[in-house]
Amino acid sequence: MKKYLIILFVLLVSGCHTGVRKPIVEELTVKELRTAIKNNPEFEFLYPRIREIGRWVSSGDTLRQAKFGIVTYKQAASFMLFNIPREHFIAEYRDLHPNCDSLRNKASSIIRFYKKNQPDSLVSISFVQKTQKHRTDDVIGHYNIYEFIITPLKGEINRLDFKFDFRSEENFATDSGYCQVWKPISEITSIKCSTNYVSFKTTQELKEDYYFHYTINDVWYNGIKWSKLPDIVKECVYSSNPYYEWALDRVVKDTIDSDYTTFDDFYKQQISSIKHQKYPVVSELFEKYSEYKWYADRNISSD
């Protein structure tokens, strides 16, 4: 690891010391806790977590207590607060991944493509009418049939799933339902969907007092299967914010190269490595406790 990182680490840790040198298996007095928080306000939020780990150490066998009972509050707090600015790892990351800019440009192109071909740009849906049907004699009640006009906007649609409702000016919703169209639609087409929604509103009432609202859950068009896209791609498509580096990296990993290491992952690996080198015992303690919590939260024995 480069020397400047170690130097930076020492400077950071020197500013994180709380002055509390008691082992975490011992509870702090009110005076000690007040002093620690005064010296480092963040300690107020670290203390409950550290005490939780300290109690776990105390409740363990002799080996656990002997190994981790020497960890102090200062060491635990410094470990938890440890950080190095991300900028210090950029050059090293680029040395390991010289093609990262090229891959991110490809990711941007993928996002732009799907922005131009998001569901609402591929199809338009309009409400025609509603009819009510009574069920057979052995089933009490009725069901509603809604007719819609489906208009492809960029060519044939192979599949369409959407949900709908009708909303008042006060945003009160009524007559909601879900439609699935499995047949290809290459021209303006009328479809009908039935629902069990209990409503006696007429077509005229829905058109005069409410506005038709729909959300496309899935659409297949020209090889695009919207529901099959990675979530990060859909998040970027619908976001009005710029494509941040972390998002582009995830798009690269999820759509271009599954073996690609994102900068976020690389950064976390480097930080974890430095922390482990500087605080081997504390690092092992946190790893063991995290493992214990994972099993405990699922009521599984870790033995």
Tell me: the pLDDT tens digits for 194-228?
A: 887 777 889 999 999 999 999 999 999 887 889 89
Percent of the chain with pLDDT over 90: 72
Do strands 224-225 and 157-167 pair parallel, antiparallel, or not at all (unpaired)? unpaired
Tell me: the pLDDT tens digits for 153-167?
A: 999 999 999 999 999
Under DSSP, the state recorded for 23 is B
Q: What is the pLDDT of residue 48?
A: 95
pLDDT exceeds 60 at position 16 = no
Please name the amino acid found at residue 188: I
Residue 219 has which token pair? 């659409």
Half-sphere exposure of 193 (CA within 13 A, CB side): 23
Instruction: Report the C-alpha gap between 258 and 248 in whole angstroms.
Output: 13
Q: Which domains does the chain have, with CATH numbers?
A: 3-87+264-297 (no CATH), 119-228 (2.60.40)
The number of residues making up the chain comes to 303
Neighbours of 162 (CB within 10 A): 21
3-state secondary structure of 151: strand
pLDDT exceeds 50 at position 152 = yes
Under DSSP, the state recorded for 161 is E
Asked if 18 and 73 touch (Cβ cutoff 8 Å), the reply is yes
Q: What is the pLDDT of residue 8?
A: 44
Instruction: Report the C-alpha gap between 252 and 99 in whole angstroms.
Output: 11
Tell me: the pLDDT tens digits for 277-295?
A: 999 999 999 999 999 998 8
Percent of the chain with pLDDT over 70: 90
Distance from the Cα of residue 177 to its chain's centroid: 28
Asked if 131 and 145 touch (Cβ cutoff 8 Å), the reply is yes
